[in-house]
Amino acid sequence: MPLRVVTGSITDLDVDAVVNAANSTLLGGGGVDGAIHRAAGPGLLTECRGLGGCLPGQAKLTGGYDLKARSVIHTVGPVWRGGNRGEDAVLASCYREAMRIARARGLRSIAFPAISTGVYGFPKTRAARIAARTIRDELKAGEEMEVLLCAFSAPDAAILQAALDDLNEEN
C-alpha cells in the first residue's frame, strides 16, 4: 500500500500537496497550521483570505507558495468533546475530502499531519486508526498516489505506525 509514516516537519516535504490541519478561518494559527503559514509565506495568507473559511470536515485547496509542496489542502478537524458528538465522522471526512481534492487535481503525492490531535484534543490513537482506515479505503486499487502520514515526533510516529500495522494485519 502506498501509505507510510514519516517523521519530521510537514513543511519540509517535497510532495504535490501537504494537508493543513487548519482552523475554520484558514488564516493561520498554532501547531501545524502556524508552521505551514510561516513556511509558505504571505502569499498563502492572502489566498486564504479569499476563501471565506472552511467548515469542519470540509477541505479547500491553495497554492504552496514558499513550501516545497506545490499545494496546500486545508481541512478543519473536529474539536474533541468526548466522542459522542460525531467527532469520528467529521475526522474521517477531513481525510476523505483531502483525498478527493488530490484525486480531482491529479496529484501523485500527499502528506497528512495528525488532524485534530493537538489543541483540538482528539485522542491520538483513535485519530490514527481513523486516518489509516479512511486513507486505505480512499486509495483506489492500482492508484498511483503516495500518501504520507507525517508525525513531528518519534512517539507520534510510533502511534501512526501502529495504526498502519493493525490495519495491515486485518487484511
- How far is Cα 160 from Cα 156, in angstroms, rounded to an integer? 6
Which helix (H) or strand (E) covers residue 55, if one does? none
Main-chain phi, psi angles of 145, to 5 degrees: -130, 125
Of the candidates 67, 69, 59, 51, which has an alpha carbon nearest to the alpha carbon of residue 21? 59
33 is known as an active-site residue: yes
Which helix (H) or strand (E) covers residue 71, if one does? strand 71-76
Work out the end-to-end distance of the chain between its first and last CA atoms, rounded to an integer number of angstroms. Answer: 11
Contacts of 46 (CB under 8 A, 6+ apart): none
Catalytic residue (choose from 16, 33, 156, 166): 33
Question: Which residues does the annotation mark as catalytic?
Answer: 33
